[in-house]
């Protein structure tokens, strides 16, 4: 659905009027297009650690214009602040204030990225305070950025270097237009990750991926994005959506499987179809889901059970079949759709929030099980995304949902699809059990 307000305040009279009245002025976001530069403008890498030096050298190898020291009044594409060795809160002042002096030089659609360590990985109170301080600093800074710029962070486990494959994959994702609607978020890298066939433009070449709920909306956009990235596709939806499902499958040159995922044996049917038609199965995207919104006082058993069954119970059964199958063993990837409703809650969505909270719990508990096969499972939690469902929300509530984030606009289905494609890639093999919010930094919730 078109956001006419954003169009209005980005041109002529509308722009001037919004400025005079102090109205929100959301910027057009820099979204990924094949063949475009990773970032426009110099990249300032701040930090005096060996990790900062090695990261700067790696970014130079990407043909980026890297600066180790700021040049006054030079328009920057990104600022990367490497804080991987802070041990006391006092250690933050120097590098943070150096970055502060360069913020006004950050261009439209720019990026600020921190590289640090999780507070939970140290028993030292001072070091934990410093590391958690980076979290509060970055999330607050992200709310100060304007003109479509975003701020995000990469968290490195103790034995993970800033230049490990998955660390660099997270860095590339945050720098690129693929992360346009990801703001104020952290990705934790717990392993190195590796895939010699992984390339930035077609990271899923040679991989077979299943997408459930693929007939329309976010599911169809996921299918298109995975196809763009080289995947062979199996698209799943209920028989009632058969015509739309076939149209999307033809568009992405995949195969369609009409299947109710809540039926017994659905997981094995998906595996058998992928193996028989495409020779294997590597990636599963759990996108299928429904809403049956009611205040809990008005909730009946049918509405509660249908949401739980489709949104989480079916995923659990399918995952059980996947983990038991010898056909899901080559660096397997599972990505599930959660929701910010499952993080912050939402009035009238107790059943939906319970199901999406359940998805996040499932992801964290399944992570060590799939890691035994060299695989990963992660979740993407969208916020307000412009879909047919949000288009039916009353106008006042819809506008509130759009503006209640740091980017002051709704996301697009492609924003969710880009995050999923990144987590499904080989280079993201060191990212496991994580929940990545795609919400423009909602002003509610964690």
Residues involved in catalysis: 352
Q: Which of 235, 230, 240 is nearest to 202 (CA)?
A: 230
Strands 208-212 and 232-237, by their bridges, are: parallel
Q: Phi-psi region for residue 348, left (φ > 0), alpha (ψ -120 to 50) or beta?
A: left
Task: Give burial (CB, 10 Å; 0-12/13-18/19+) of 1.
Answer: middle
DSSP code at position 310: I
Which helix (H) or strand (E) segment holds residue 221: the answer is helix 217-228
Alpha helix ranges (H) inside 2-113: 4-8, 12-21, 50-61, 93-100
SS (H, E, C) 146-159: CCCCEEEEEEECCC
Distance CA 291, CA 296 (A): 14
Is the separation of the CB atoms in 175 and 113 below 8 Å?
yes
DSSP code at position 33: -
Q: In whole angstroms, how far apart are CA 10 and each of 3, 147, 245?
A: 12, 11, 37
Q: In whole angstroms, how far apart are CA 272 and each of 10, 241, 280, 287, 318?
A: 51, 21, 9, 20, 12
C-alpha Rg value of the chain to the nearest Å:
22
Is the separation of the CB atoms in 3 and 386 below 8 Å?
yes
> Taking the chain, what is the end-to-end CA distance rounded to the nearest angstrom?
27
Going 296 to 301 to 304 to 308, the CA torsion angle's sign is positive
Q: Which of 142, 114, 138, 100 is nearest to 52 (CA)?
A: 114
């Amino acid at each position: 659905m078109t956001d006419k307000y954003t169009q209005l305040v980005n041109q002529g009279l509308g722009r001037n009027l919004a400025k005079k009245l102090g109205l929100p002025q959301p910027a057009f976001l820099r979204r990924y297009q094949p063949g475009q530069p990773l970032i426009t403008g110099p990249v300032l890498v701040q930090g005096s650690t060996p990790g900062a030096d090695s990261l700067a050298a790696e970014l130079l190898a990407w043909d980026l214009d890297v600066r180790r020291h700021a040049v006054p009044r030079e328009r920057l594409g990104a600022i990367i602040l490497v804080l991987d060795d802070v041990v006391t809160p006092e250690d933050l002042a120097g590098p943070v204030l150096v970055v502060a002096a360069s913020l006004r030089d950050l261009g439209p659609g720019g990026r600020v990225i921190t590289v640090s360590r999780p507070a939970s990985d140290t028993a030292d109170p001072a070091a934990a305070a410093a590391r958690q301080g980076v979290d509060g600093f970055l999330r607050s800074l992200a709310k100060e950025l304007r003109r479509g710029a975003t701020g995000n962070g990469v968290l490195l486990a103790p034995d993970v270097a800033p230049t490990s494959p998955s660390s660099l994959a997270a860095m590339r994702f945050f720098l690129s237009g693929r992360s346009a609607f990801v703001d104020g978020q952290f990705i934790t890298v717990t392993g190195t990750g590796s895939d010699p066939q992984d390339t930035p433009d077609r990271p899923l070449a040679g991989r077979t991926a299943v997408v459930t709920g693929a007939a329309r909306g976010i599911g169809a956009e996921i299918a298109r994005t995975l196809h763009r990235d080289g995947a062979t596709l199996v698209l799943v939806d209920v028989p009632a959506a058969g015509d739309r499902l076939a149209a999307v499958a033809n568009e992405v040159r995949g195969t369609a499987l009409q299947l109710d995922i809540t039926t017994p044996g659905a997981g094995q049917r998906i595996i058998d179809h992928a193996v028989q038609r495409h020779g294997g199965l590597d990636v599963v995207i759990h996108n299928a889901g429904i809403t049956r919104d009611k205040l809990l006082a008005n909730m009946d058993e049918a509405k509660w059970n249908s949401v739980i069954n489709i949104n989480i119970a079916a995923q659990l059964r399918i995952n059980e079949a996947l983990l038991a199958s010898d056909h899901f063993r080559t660096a397997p990837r599972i990505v599930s759709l959660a929701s910010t409703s499952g993080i912050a809650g939402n009035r009238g969505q107790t059943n939906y929030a319970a199901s999406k909270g359940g998805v996040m719990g499932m992801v964290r508990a399944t992570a060590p099980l799939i890691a035994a096969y060299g695989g990963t499972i992660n979740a993407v939690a969208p916020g307000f995304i412009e879909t047919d469902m949000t288009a039916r929300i009353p106008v006042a509530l819809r506008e509130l949902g759009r503006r209640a984030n740091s980017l002051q606009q709704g996301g697009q289905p492609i924003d969710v699809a880009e995050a999923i494609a990144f987590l499904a890639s080989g280079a993201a093999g060191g990212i496991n059990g994580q929940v990545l919010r795609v919400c423009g930094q909602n002003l509610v919730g964690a």
